[in-house]
Amino acid sequence: MNTSRREFLKANAMAAVAAVAAPGMSLAAAASGGIVWSKSVCRFCGTGCGVLLGVRDGRLVALRGDPEHPTTKGLVCAKALFLPKIVHAKDRLTHPQIRKNGRLQRATWDEAMKLVADKFADAIKAHGPNSVAYYGSGQALSEESYLANRLFKGGIGTNNVEGNPRLCMASAVGGYVTTYGKDEPMGCYEDIDHARVFFLLGSNTAECHPVLFDQILENKQRRRDVKVIVLDPRRSPVGAITDLHLNPIPGQDLIVLHAMAHCLIRDGKIDRAFIDGKVQFKAVKDGNPVSVGFDDYVEFLKAYPPAKAAEVSGVPAAAIEQAAALFAEGPVMSFWTMGLNQRTRGVWANNLVHNLHLITGNIGKPGATPFSLTGQPNACGGVRDTGSLCHILPYGRVVDNAGHRQQMETLWGSRPGAIPDKPGLNTIELFRALGRDEVKAMLILTTNPGHSLPNVSPHRDAMGKERPGKPFICVLDAYPTRTTELADVVLPAAMWTEKSGVFGMSERRYQYQPKLREAPGEARSDLNILLALAAELEQREVVPAGYIAGKLKDDDDIWNEMREASRGTAYDFTGMTRERLKRERGIRWPAPTETHPGTARRFVKGEDPLLDAGAYANPALAPGEVEFYGAPDKRAVVWLRPPLGPAEPPDAEYPFILSTGRVLEHWHTGTMTMRAEELRRAYPKPFVEIHPTDADRLGIRTGDAVRITSRRGEAIITARVVDAPRPGMVFAPFHWEDEAGFINRVTIDAYDPGSKQPEFKICAVRLAKA
């Protein structure tokens, strides 16, 4: 990534700080006079950067990196520096609105809450609990997601609880659970300092996780023997530090990973003792997993030598051989994100990365870990961990396990059998059911599905198209979005810094976010809105009386219940009291006692406290020995997965592959970053990258308008002719909400059959100069 571009943005951010502080205030004054500083955590991605926030006269006026933060060490990205300006955006939502005569009109809180409660209660009474749904976010605080999950599953009695982490991290969850038996990375950011090889797969770390990219870069500059391998069909800004780039045809990377494993075994670059003691092998036959042996795995891989992988993927055989040789040198830290996850074979792709670490023993040691990066600040701690998706319950429990359901019903005080024994609808099926008017009422919190869903047009119609019996949509947000414009009721929500609670980031670190200022106008925290809705539903007798009202009054109460829910589980964070989180700069779970410092590496004797006491304890292990206590027989699984391709490969009618992604300056659907003029100016309009070979053939030049058409819809976007995507592929970020360039009208909503995560990264399109 161009360093001057980043420095330019940071300079603009400092000017923005002065503008927010007060008209005419100098930079020096904005940085010192009268400002009260507090530690907190950044609002953007899952890196979880520690920040110091400056408040003056009730206004957030400054942000800087926290030099005492143990893992991000004072670093922040350019976007974060604009957060003070974003919080004070002029178009913040400040009062409830109800749709009347086709228009959203101002309403009182009483009027709005009564309408929402009536609509939900009427649907439940007439059509049953599964006629309502909750769609949440990896941007909500942990206490908010936990409370919503508790209300809908244990109170109303529906598992129709979903959220946008289904769109970004579900395949990573599936990969961890099917391989190790438990979700979440076992390593930590400290491993960056110890790794000798970095394997980046489908991850534009430079733009999407720039602070971690900076740490990788620092390691590479400090230790000249550090190597970076990239597996990505697009040459992103990560290329600035890449030693070896493997650029497969989109969707054909699984065979490359198999070929690497083939080379490692052929050349004897595996850890046979680790395999024999810690690993098992499984294949799927007739739809069911079956145990096989190491010899079966070796035989399976014979079908995927580098030459065969090159033929299928387009990656040269010599490059695959080189990648395997570098991986064998270790210690290896693999990072991946949406490029692997947003696929119809996302779980399998995740499994194959874990396979490489397991057969080489590159796991559970400093610098040796497979690490899934997270796109949102609280997808891990707030949704994955709290069980706020349709098939799971808090802290490793699942809805189809009777014992797990009973545990949560007891803790929550639900009636016996309140939680259904089958998963609810996953995100895509939930919005399809909404379009069929089978879901009658939906609560959407801190997310923008009217912009972010794949194949968004029918899902927008499901939410907003007027028709008899149209479902009722209530949206909680801090800003107007492409989703609030479809809602029947919009409730103004407090923003980051205007409420308190916990974010949980990618390395299992839970961090406390303090309330530092009052929300504007009549805006309220999502937690208070959920508490009020629960009380209204109790009054209407669709939630048992006293289920939430009178038991839980604030985020402190909810946090204490969450700690209790984690007790004795693989997540155990009962040692993270509120007071401790306020005092310390985050703690990594498990942390089962108030004196435990938190866990850097899970499954490692001497580091993971669960191997010393409790249900997972094993005194026979030697210090530093690994035991995968969540997996069957305490052995991680190496999977024999066939290297199948995408749901919609290119063909004669639609000969190009579209992949979507992000840029440094913007985040998700631009709801926040577009509120900072400097960030908006950096990339004011959508664009599509086209390889020069393809552009020449189509007569397209940089600046031309290009019509991108799929079987679902079209967008007209400005061309950028560059050699970043491989020939036959085009790349378009999805941040902009303008109608012509709305790229999610083009994307496909086919999803992974295991994780239910959609394949944003691959769909077939045709191009034409518009």
Active site residues per annotation: 79, 168-169, 338, 375-376
Other beta carbons within 10 angstroms of residue 467's beta carbon come to 9
Contact 219, 207 (CB under 8 A): no
* 619's tokens: 């005194």
Edge-first strand listing for the sheet containing 103-106 = 103-106, 97-100, 489-492, 472-477, 441-445, 132-136, 161-163
Dihedral pair phi/psi, residue 512, rounded to 5°: -90, 135
* 332's tokens: 């290896």
* CA dihedral of residues 478, 482, 483, 485 (deg, nearest 10): 90
* 598's tokens: 């938190």
Distance (Å, whole) CA 432 – CA 255: 33
N- to C-terminal Cα separation, the chain:
30
Distance (Å, whole) CA 526 – CA 402: 31
Distance (Å, whole) CA 255 – CA 258: 5
Distance (Å, whole) CA 165 – CA 539: 32
Distance (Å, whole) CA 10 – CA 23: 20
Distance (Å, whole) CA 263 – CA 321: 7
* 323's tokens: 């990648």
Q: Exposed e or buried b for every residue in 326-349, given b needs 16+ CB within 10 A?
A: bbbebbbbbbbbbbbbbbbbbbbb
* 641's tokens: 């997965």
* 269's tokens: 């670059």
Distance (Å, whole) CA 500 – CA 757: 30
Coil, helix or strand at residue 359: helix
Distance (Å, whole) CA 682 – CA 679: 5
Coil, helix or strand at residue 644: coil
Contact 315, 256 (CB under 8 A): yes
Pairing outcome for strands 472-477 and 441-445: parallel
Could you identify the residue written with the tokens 């808090």?
A: 394
61: left (phi over 0), alpha (psi -120 to 50) or beta: alpha
> What sign has the CA pseudo-torsion 193, 194, 198, 203?
negative
Distance (Å, whole) CA 599 – CA 185: 12
Distance (Å, whole) CA 97 – CA 103: 9
Q: Which of 708, 764, 765, 734 is nearest to 251 (CA)?
A: 764
Distance (Å, whole) CA 344 – CA 468: 35
* 395's tokens: 């802290």
Task: Give, for 392, the enclosing helix (H) or strand (E).
Answer: strand 392-393
Distance (Å, whole) CA 301 – CA 643: 11
Contacts of 687 (CB under 8 A, 6+ apart): 717, 718, 719, 720, 732, 733
H runs (alpha helix) in 553-638? 555-566, 578-583
> What sign has the CA pseudo-torsion 677, 679, 682, 684?
negative
Distance (Å, whole) CA 340 – CA 342: 6
Distance (Å, whole) CA 357 – CA 368: 8
* 335's tokens: 């990072």
Edge-first strand listing for the sheet containing 288-292 = 288-292, 279-285, 636-639
